Amino acid sequence: MKKKRRWLRWTVDLAVIALIFTAVNAWNSRDASQGMAPDINGELLDGTPVSLEKMRGKPVLVHFWATWCAICGLEQATIDAIAKDYSVLTVAIDDALPGRILIYMKEKGVRYPVIHDPDYLIAGRYGVRGVPSSFILDAQGNIRFVETGYTSGPGLRLRLWWAGRDA
């Protein structure tokens, strides 16, 4: 009987934790853009021109991060791995110089595409309130999912797969 109570208690505890995480994500994402994603045009850190509109036709992960964000650092390898299988555009909302961001990426061993947004212009159009923030777009450029805070690799991949189902 004690084992049954222990499992019940753990189940209730996990449900409460899941509810708290869901509520925090909803609160942090309350101002996030919905519907058609605002276009992103500019140059990547390596000078390559980029346009989010040209990435349509398949799901896209738009990921906002910063070098000073410890949680972002935990996700770096995950985002890099996803970029090998899906279209990914990351936005560094960092006042560090582009060269410093490139050094940071080299230290982390990641090579995903990055556009620099030191003035928070792109992040502002997306309604980003904190980093990391991830926007999963469908093939037509509609925002399907918004996540703020740490998100697991399998969670992001599942959302990208789901966003691509209608393509």
Q: What are the average pLDDT values for consecutive 10-residue runs of the chain, which has 167 residues? A: 75 71 56 77 95 95 96 95 97 94 95 96 92 95 92 95 84
Angle between helices 153-164 and 70-83 (to 10 degrees): 50
Q: Are strands 142-148 and 35-36 parallel, antiparallel or unpaired?
A: antiparallel
Domains and CATH numbers, the chain: 31-164 (3.40.30.10)
pLDDT of residue 101: 96
CA-closest candidate to residue 116, choices 49, 44, 54, 165: 44
pLDDT of residue 139: 95
CA-closest candidate to residue 33, choices 109, 146, 121: 146
pLDDT of residue 5: 79
pLDDT of residue 28: 53
pLDDT of residue 157: 97
Angle between helices 70-83 and 98-108 (to 10 degrees): 70
